[in-house]
Amino acid sequence: MTNPASSTRELIHLAWPMLVAQLAMMANAVIDTAMAGRLSAIDLAAVGIASAIMATVLMSLVSVLLAVPPIIAHLYGANRRAEIGREIHQGVWISLALALVAILLMRFPGPFIAISELQPAVETKVRAYLAASAWGVPAAFALRLFFGLSTGISYTLPVMLFNLLSLALKVPLNALFMYGLLGFPAMGAAGAAVATSLDAWLMAVLAWGWCLHHPRYAEFELRRRITAPDFAAIREFLKLGIPIGLTFIADVTAFTFMALFIARLGPVVSGAHQIAANLAVLAFMIPLSLGNATSVLVGQALGAGQAARARRICWEAIRFGMSIAIVLCLTFWLGAPYIAAFYTTDLQVQAIAIPLIVMVGLYHLGDAMQAITVNALRGYKNSVVPMVIYTVTLWVPGLGGGIVLGLTNTFGPARGAPGFWLAAIASIWLVGGMMAIYLNFTSKKHCAR
């Protein structure tokens, strides 16, 4: 029987570079928000709204590639390593198709903007941000494919290092394009998107150039001529990847449309919500990294025929992850005024943001549970039932409840942004509970085989 302490050490060993990598990626969003907040409330709102639209489009499509780590992990655990390069080549074809869709949606964002009923000044900046972001889409897919390969073989250190390098470049690039330093034109909110796109291309070229010449990856024969599209292999890939993508669509769009509806309440409220949303996503990176590590270790254990070990890893991850979540929840409660002041000097925005930050603490407890459990289920190559749970729960009681509580008088005076957050808290707790129950059922079924 596997020692629980040993399972925890394995999780930490794999998860900590992924955590640093995820925090580095999310720090980019924090940097954009903080730097836009020092321009104007209009720029802050534009960054928040545009980044929410971009996240909806890009993450919903790129999340299909989250099928890569469990697929690679199963092959790696079963010692079928000669097949890994072929899977990555098929991932290239899938990435090209998905990237084209993402670019078109970001270049023509009319339906998203119509929902928000934006002020003309905000809409202009949002469209400019999305147009600049579209240039970086192919690089984002290339990076995700590299990260999926490295994660699946439990080699997460390069994922961390490339994300840290990207973060190191973000502030100076933002300063050049947002504020117009060194003779560059000041582009405001759109400058953050230009910086992000340039940064992504630099990292994609460096990451794949390094990967193709590193001995750790040599056995996968990635440098051989890329194989033609294999529709049978692509179909198997998409059987796992599409439900994962639809799960992300349910998750991300519920969060995005929450931001878009809140945008109707004006730039000040929208800016305050953006601060709370940034914090929620930043905190989410911890259980997400732990969940990603769980998915890989579960996949490798199942590939090696060790179902009991896979189940133990799942529950060790949940215990460890929820302990961290409780600490973060208390931090948000106690530090809300200081966190709000860090993000913006606007006192009106701070006053609205403080109670929202407190609510983020409660939200994170449910978010941590669902992040760990849904990723553990992906290690079992199980993504259909989670997709159904996410779609129904996050959209009906989640977003639907937020609209009722936040914008209508159905249950008393409209609560504005806090109404949306109350509904989000209830829905994410419901998702977390149902996912834990389903993971318990799934892991027991594999042990009984």
Domains of the chain: which residue ranges? 4-448
Q: What is the CA radius of gyration of the chain?
A: 21
Position 212 pLDDT exceeds 60? yes
Kindly report, residue by residue over 226-237, the tens digit of the pLDDT.
778 888 888 888
pLDDT-derived band at 125 (thresholds 50, 70, 90) equals confident
pLDDT-derived band at 79 (thresholds 50, 70, 90) equals confident
183: left (phi over 0), alpha (psi -120 to 50) or beta: left
Taking a C-beta distance cutoff of 8 angstroms, is the pair 197, 139 a contact? yes
Taking a C-beta distance cutoff of 8 angstroms, is the pair 144, 22 a contact? no
* Alpha carbon distance 319, 2 (integer Å): 16
DSSP state, 184? P
* Alpha carbon distance 104, 125 (integer Å): 18
Kindly report, residue by residue over 354-383, the tens digit of the pLDDT.
999 999 999 999 999 999 999 999 999 898
Output the pLDDT for position 1: 47
Output the pLDDT for position 232: 85
pTM score, whole prediction: 0.81
Q: Which residue has the higher pLDDT, 345 or 292?
A: 292
Taking a C-beta distance cutoff of 8 angstroms, is the pair 422, 399 a contact? no
Kindly report, residue by residue over 128-168, the tens digit of the pLDDT.
889 898 999 999 999 999 999 999 998 888 999 999 999 99
Indicate the residue type of 44.
Answer: L
Kindly report, residue by residue over 278-289, the tens digit of the pLDDT.
889 889 988 999
Mean pLDDT (whole number) for 253-262: 82
Question: What SS3 string covers 22-36?
Answer: HHHHHHHHHHHHHHH
pLDDT-derived band at 118 (thresholds 50, 70, 90) equals confident
| Three-state SS at 1 | coil
Output the pLDDT for position 5: 58
User: Dihedral, CA atoms, 160, 101, 229, 198, nearest 10 degrees?
Assistant: -40
End-to-end alpha carbon distance in the chain: 17
Q: Which residue has the higher pLDDT, 327 or 7?
A: 327
pLDDT-derived band at 3 (thresholds 50, 70, 90) equals low
Q: How does the average pLDDT of the chain come out, rounded?
A: 87
Nearest to 26 by CA among 287, 232, 395: 287
The helix, strand and coil proportions of the chain, stated in percent and rounded to the nearest 5, come to 85, 0, 15
* Alpha carbon distance 52, 110 (integer Å): 14
Kindly report, residue by residue over 380-432, the tens digit of the pLDDT.
989 899 999 988 999 899 999 999 998 888 887 888 888 999 999 999 999 99
Kindly report, residue by residue over 318-333, the tens digit of the pLDDT.
999 999 999 999 999 9
Output the pLDDT for position 427: 94
* Alpha carbon distance 383, 241 (integer Å): 8
* Alpha carbon distance 275, 350 (integer Å): 9
* Alpha carbon distance 260, 283 (integer Å): 21
